[in-house]
Structure 1
Amino acid sequence: MTPMTEVEGRRIPLSNLDKVLYPATGTTKGEVLHYYAATAGDVILPHLRDRPVSFLRYPDGPGGQLFFTKNPPPGTPAWVATAPVPHSEDRSARQPVVGDLASLMWAANLVVEFHTPQWRTGAPGLADRLVLDLDPGAPATVVECCAVALWLRERLAADGLTAYGKTSGSKGLHLLVPLEPTPSEAASAYAKRLAQEAEAALPELALHRMKRALRPGKVFVDFSQNAASKTTAAPYTLRARPEPTVSAPVTWDEIAGCREPGALVFRAGDMAGRLERYGDPLAPLNDPEQTRPLPG
């Protein structure tokens, strides 16, 4: 019989708790669920709330089948909120909205990465944050990403915008900027200009084009995730990597001091200590007082 747990008055089946999902560290599904319930719940929910959530599912671990889903999977409880998907060809399409701990634990039991767009359900297509995904092409690493991030931070500041950083949970770095709601098309155009300027200013480091032949040794400044139909890995989500790495917020001191490729790799077990030390460095992203308009 599948064990059940009660979260905020909701009964949730929890399956295969002893199943090893991350063989490199022996991390079980039960430990993944504990991470979301006891460590990350309070800080991940503000970044998921009011946003449609897409799932990258890996029920047999990162070495098994991975599949991306936007629609609520079969068996989704009626109490899990959903929202229409305005950018879908299917006008009846809906996506889950993870706004409370019960919904978070239901979703975590499916073994997922959480991905969200840059807009909220109440204002689809109006971005309230800008994202720049810094993706290194080998032999470049996160060290080079940090150098590009520091340049972008100053460039954004010149336009009156404040950037916050997090690891991708994989190889790179994400920069996030709180915005006054603005059409996604405008945010995308501005992000593309920033990527082009970064390439012009740092020709040995930065690249704004995705072409694979150009990527080795460079940092691709991916601006495309600002499109209304695109999503980005949410802060604090676990990633489908060989180890239970987290898309973890990082401070600018950590970015400035990054000298080794492994310096900004954080796993589920690291997060309790980091939260105790730093709180949530990305909290301003959800504070309307911190938003600023795009220039021009």
Structure 2
Amino acid sequence: MNWINNVVRPKIQRVFNKKQQTPDNLWHKCSNCGEMIFHRDLEAAMRVCPSCDHHMRLGTKERFASLFDNAEYQIVPVDAVAIDPLKFRDQKKYPDRLKEARSKTGRDDSVTVAHGPLDGVETVIAIEDFSFMGGSLGMAAGEAIIRGAETALEKKAPYVLFAAAGGARMQEGILSLMQMPRTTVSLQLLREASLPFIVVLTDPTTGGVLASYAMLGDIQIAEPKALIGFSGRRVIEQTIREKLPDDFQSAEFQLEHGMIDMIVHRHKMKDTLARIIRLMTHRPRSPRQQSANVPAKVTAQTAS
């Protein structure tokens, strides 16, 4: 009797009561319209909702793959910086926060730089990843942006920056704020060398990042409905004591008021960048552009 209760019955119960282990990340819910999207369909759409066209945040690796020809590129190495120079601690020690962010994202810091062919033109691209501590600007991020500018100068290549940040990294204090003038100087060297610097503002781009390198592009592009602004709505309303429009700080509001040059859908980002780069570097249109009959004119209109 004990053998039946202790051995046979548990085995039978395991056979009939075994639950199918289903991954919990097969479906994603659009934060804008609530549509449930199968993960493969969402990846194929570059994380753009097929129902409402909402642009979800795109990872660094996926962004690089969507821009470089055949997803072939080389990561630009960045010199290491001091970790926790201020011995900062709030609810966690700063090194613990860095370790957690690196484990979560698989990246050393918020900015990754790579170079490779974009429609046949050697291009340097820097991507700011919001999933790494809110894309905050610290010493490592500043060093990466500067190294990207130096690489563009070495290769005489255009420099494209995809910005996404909540501002400066408070754990590094004044050392974080120092990256604003440092990056500005490095980008000025690009301008003196007549090399294009193009900025793409993604959701969200705010704070000290917007107050420095994110608004210094020769061409300012934004993704649809991206949040773009220096301070939060409540802070501004309390300061000026006025009610702000509902679409305040959206990419469309910035385009209407002349803060950016164009809004470009993610699916058309590569073609738009390729056209702009060829125009700014005085290169003829590529065979792919000619076959697609892409107009060789840049206007401050929404590309959708």
Q: Give the TM-score category using the shorter length.
A: under 0.3
Structure with more relative contact order (C-alpha pairs < 8 Å, separation 6 or more): 1
Taking structure 1 as the reference length, the TM-score comes to 0.28
Structure showing the higher strand proportion among its residues: 1
**Larger gyration radius, structure 1 or structure 2:** 2
| Structure with the larger helix share | 2
Q: Normalization by structure 2: what TM-score?
A: 0.27
